[in-house]
Amino acid sequence: MECLAALRSACNSHLTENECSATDPVVFAAQYTVSCAWAEVVALADVPSCEVVSRHGRCEARLELDMCGDSCAGEIMYGDIHVMPAARELIRMCNGPLGAWSAVGSESDEIAECLPGTELAICACLDAVCE
């Protein structure tokens, strides 16, 4: 968990897209590559109204994988939109963001995906990212 938290923190420290993408990836167990990537972040004023307060970018840690669907086009398996309910944020990025919640066995509800059957209220706000 600490390693994943440190990777996220390191990526979050990059304040520009160029700085973020210039960061060298880290390889674990010769098969998992983690890199920093620029994510689209949509912050909401409140969840019931889905009112957007801001749209901005943030450098986040992610796995480098070839699996990614376009959530806005209805491709929900390996979708690219994740939600942080407590922060009222929708984050668009493939295979991330990674953080302590990504650790095997983690029961964190800090981040989630809006898959069929997910009952998070913020999932009703996905259109805010797709606009």
Calculate the CA dihedral of residues 81, 78, 36, 29 and round it to 10 degrees: 150
- pLDDT given for residue 29 in this prediction: 81
User: What domain count does the chain have?
Assistant: 1
**Domain boundaries, position 10:** 2-130
Question: Which stretches does DSSP call E strand in 1-131?
Answer: 26-28, 32-44, 52-63, 81-84, 89-92, 112-113
What's the pTM? 0.90
Q: What share of the chain is helix, strand, coil (3-state, %, to 5)?
A: 25, 30, 45
> So what's the pLDDT on residue 130?
87
Regions of the chain where pLDDT drops below 50: none
- Over residues 81-100, the pLDDT tens digits come to 999 999 999 999 999 999 99
